[in-house]
Structure 1
Amino acid sequence: MIIQTHSPIDHYDRCELLLACQVGAFFQTSEKIDILLQDILQTTVNSLEFHHAGLVLLPHGKPAVCWHADKVAGAGKNPGQQLSLNKFLALTGKKGKKVRKMLEPLQPVVATTLPVLLKSGDPVSIMEIGIFGTQRHIAQYMLVKAVSVARHIADTLQESFFQRQKDPHLRKLAVWLEMINTISSTLDIREVLHVVCQLTADFFSAKSCIYLLDDKEQTLIPAVGVGSYDPVLRKKFKALRGTKPFPAITRAVEAQQPVIVTPANRKRLLNPEIIRDFAYGWMVLAPILSKDRAIGVMQVDRPLETGGFNQEETEIIFAIARATAIAMENAQLIEMLGQKEQILHQLVNKMITAQEDERKRVAADLHDGIIQSLIAVWYRLQRITPPAEGCYAEWQADLGDLTRLLNEQIMEIRRMLYDLRPIILDNYGLFPAVESYLQNLQEKNNIAVDLSIQGKGENLNSRIEITLFRILQEALTNVLKHAKASIVKVELTNGDDIVSLIVQDNGSGMDAALLSTDHYPQRLGLAGIQERALLLSGTCKIESWPGKGTRISITIPIPEQAEEILQNKSEGRTGSNDHQASDR
Structure 2
Amino acid sequence: MSTKTTSLASELRCLEYFLALQAHRDPQKLAEEALSILLRDFGATAGSLLYTGPPSVHARQGDFPAAVAAHLDRWEEGIAQRIADGPWRISPKKALAPALRPLEGTPYAVLYALILNGPQVAGSISLVFPRQQAPGNKERLLLGRLLYAFGNAVRIIGELSITQERLSQLSLFYQVAQSMSSTLDLHKVLSDTTQLATAVLDASAVVLMLVDEKTQELVFEYASGEIGRRLRRQRTPLGAGIAGWVATHGEPVLVNNAREDPRFSDLVDTRTGFLTRSVICAPIQVRGKTIGVLEALNKRNNQGFDEEDLRLIVTTANQAALAIENARLYQSLREERDRIIQAQENVRRQVARNLHDGTVQFLSAISMGIDHLERLLEVKPEAALAELDALRRLTHQATRQARLALFELRPLILETQGLGPALEAYVEQLQNSETFNVHLEMDDDLPELDRSVAATIFAIAQEAVNNAKKHASARDVWLRLSTKGDWLQLIVEDNGVGFDTQEIEAKYDRLGSIGLLNMRERAELIDGHIQIESNTTPPNSGTRVILQAPIRPPARPAARG
TM-score between both structures, scaled by the size of structure 1 = 0.50
- For residue 327 of structure 1, the aligned residue among 323, 326, 331 is 323
- Tell me the distance in 1 between the aligned counterparts of 2:260 and 2:529: 44
Aligned position for 2:307:
311
Cα deviation for residue 223 of structure 1 reads: 0.4
Q: Residues of 2 paired with 1:248 and 1:308: CA distance? A: 16
Residue 421, structure 1, aligned to residue 418, structure 2 = no
Aligned-partner residue type, residue 176 of structure 2: M
Moved more, 308-317 or 248-257: 248-257
The match for 1:298 is: 294
Within 5 Å, give how 1:197-346 maps onto structure 2: 197-206=194-203, 207-229=205-227, 233-234=230-231, 237-240=232-235, 243-246=237-240, 248-261=242-255, 263=257, 268-274=262-268, 276-277=270-271, 278-302=274-298, 306-346=302-342
User: Which residue of the partner structure matches residue 188 of structure 1?
Assistant: 185
Query: How far off its partner does 1:221 sit?
Result: 2.1
Question: Residues of 1 paired with 2:551 and 2:413: CA distance?
Answer: 20
Conserved 8 A contact 2:436-2:475: no
Q: Are 1:468 and 2:468 an aligned pair?
A: no
Equivalent runs, 1:81-120 vs 2, <5 Å: none
- In structure 2, C-alpha distance between the alignment counterparts of 1:488 and 1:411, rounded to whole Å: 21
1:494 corresponds in structure 2 to 483
Q: Given the alignment of the two structures, is residue 538 of structure 1 paired with residue 536 of structure 2, yes or no?
A: no
State the distance in 2 between where 1:452 and 1:225 align. 61
C-alpha contact (below 8 Å) 2:258/2:276 kept by paired residues: no
- Is the alpha carbon distance of 1:172 and 1:512 closer, same or farther for their aligned partners in structure 2, counting shifts above 3 Å? farther
CA separation in 2, counterparts of 1:311 and 1:205? Answer: 14
Match of 1:29 in 2: none
* In 1, Cα distance between equivalents of 2:318 and 2:302: 26
Identity of aligned residues (%): 22
1:97-134 per-residue CA deviation (whole Å, 9 max, x = no partner) reads xxxxxxxxxxxxxxxxxxxxxxxxxxxxxxxxxxxxxx
- Amino acid across the alignment from 1:282: S
Question: What SS does the corresponding residue of 1:285 show, helix, strand or coil?
Answer: strand
Residues 560, 424 of structure 1: CA spacing in aligned structure 2 closer, same or farther, 3 A cutoff? Answer: closer
C-alpha distance 466-211 of structure 1, shift in aligned 2 (>3 A)? closer
User: Aligned with 1:333: secondary structure?
Assistant: helix
Q: In 2, distance between residues paired with 1:261 and 1:490?
A: 65
> Cα–Cα, structure 1 residues 178 and 470, in superposed 2: closer, same or farther, change >3 Å?
closer
Distance 1:259 1:490 in 2: 59
8 Å CA contact 1:213, 1:295 repeated in 2: yes
Give the alignment of 1:138-153 within 5 angstroms.
none
CA distance in 2, matches of 1:482, 1:259: 59
Counterpart contact for 1:208–1:298, Cα < 8 Å: yes
Aligned to 2:171: 174
Query: How far, CA to CA, are the matches of 2:532 and 2:212 in structure 1?
Result: 21
Q: In terms of Rg, which structure is larger?
A: 2
Give the superposition deviation at 1:297.
Answer: 0.8
Whether the 8 Å CA contact 1:512–1:543 is kept in 2: the answer is no
The answer to whether the 8 A contact 1:252-1:285 is kept is: yes
- C-alpha spacing 1:331/1:368, structure 2 compared with 1 (3 Å): same
* Cα-to-partner distance string for 1:544-565 (whole Å, 9 max, x where unaligned): 99x99997856365333899xx
Taking a change above 3 Å as real, the CA distance of residues 356 and 272 of structure 1, as seen in their structure-2 partners, is closer
In structure 2, list runs of 5 or more residues that go unmatched. Answer: 1-158, 537-542
Instruction: Structure 1: give runs of 5+ residues left out of the alignment.
Output: 1-161, 386-394, 564-584
Counterpart contact for 2:242–2:265, Cα < 8 Å: no
State the alpha-carbon separation in 1 of the partners of residues 446 and 378 from structure 2.
Answer: 52
- CA shift at 1:288, angstroms? 0.9
Output the CA distance in 1 between the equivalents of 2:260 and 2:358.
75
The amino acid across from 1:168 in the alignment is: E
**How far apart are the structure 2 equivalents of 1:462 and 1:379?**
54
CA distance in 2 between partners of 1:275 and 1:485 (Å):
64
Does the 8 Å contact 1:286/1:321 carry over to 2? Answer: yes
Note if contact 1:218-1:244 (Cα within 8 Å) is conserved in structure 2.
yes
Aligned mates of 1:223, 1:431 — CA distance in 2: 51
Q: What is the distance in 1 between the residues matched to 2:478 and 2:227?
A: 57
Alignment of 1:300-449 (within 5 A): 300-302=296-298, 306-361=302-357, 363-370=359-366, 410=396, 413-414=399-400, 417-418=403-404, 420-421=406-407, 429-430=421-422, 432=424, 444=436
Query: How far has the Cα of 1:468 moved from its partner?
Result: 2.5
Q: Where does residue 150 of structure 2 map in the other structure?
A: none
Q: Provide the alpha-carbon RMSD of the alignment.
A: 5.6
Give the superposition deviation at 1:170: 2.6
Q: Secondary structure at the match of 1:296?
A: strand
Check conservation: 1:189, 1:327, Cα contact below 8 A: yes
Q: Deviations over 1:354-376 (max 9, x none)?
A: 44555555552342335656887
Q: Judging changes above 3 Å, is the alpha-carbon distance between structure 1 residues 459 and 287 closer, same or farther for their aligned structure 2 residues?
A: closer
| Preserved CA contact (<8 Å) 2:446 2:482 | no
**Distance (whole Å) between structure 1 residues aligned to residue 225 and residue 346 of structure 2:** 51
TM-superposed CA distance for 1:315, in Å, is: 1.8
Structure 1 residues 364 and 230: CA distance shift in structure 2, 3 A: closer
Taking the aligned partners of 1:561 and 1:240, their CA distance within structure 2 comes to 50
2:170 maps to a residue whose letter is L
**Deviations, residues 119-173 of structure 1 (Å, cap 9, x unaligned):** xxxxxxxxxxxxxxxxxxxxxxxxxxxxxxxxxxxxxxxxxxx998973333333
How far did 1:302 drift?
Answer: 1.8
Deviation at 1:299, TM superposition (A): 0.9
Contact 1:257 1:286 in 2 (8 A): yes
Assess, with a 3 A threshold, how the Cα gap between structure 1 residues 357 and 216 changes in structure 2: closer, same or farther: same
Q: Provide Cα deviations, 1:384-405, integer angstroms capped at 9, x if missing partner.
A: 99xxxxxxxxx9x998998788
Q: CA deviation at 1:210?
A: 0.8
Give how far 1:174 is off.
2.5
C-alpha change, 1:287 and 1:487, in structure 2 (3 Å) is: farther
Number of paired residues? 382
- Of 345-354 and 309-318, deviating more is 345-354
Alpha-carbon deviations, 1:249-276, whole Å to 9, x = none?
Answer: 4442343321334547865323353464
Q: 1:415 to 1:178 in 2, by over 3 A?
A: closer
Instruction: Name the residue aligned to 1:477.
Output: 466
> 2:400 touches 2:432 (CA, 8 Å); kept in 1?
no
Secondary structure at 2:297 match in 1: strand
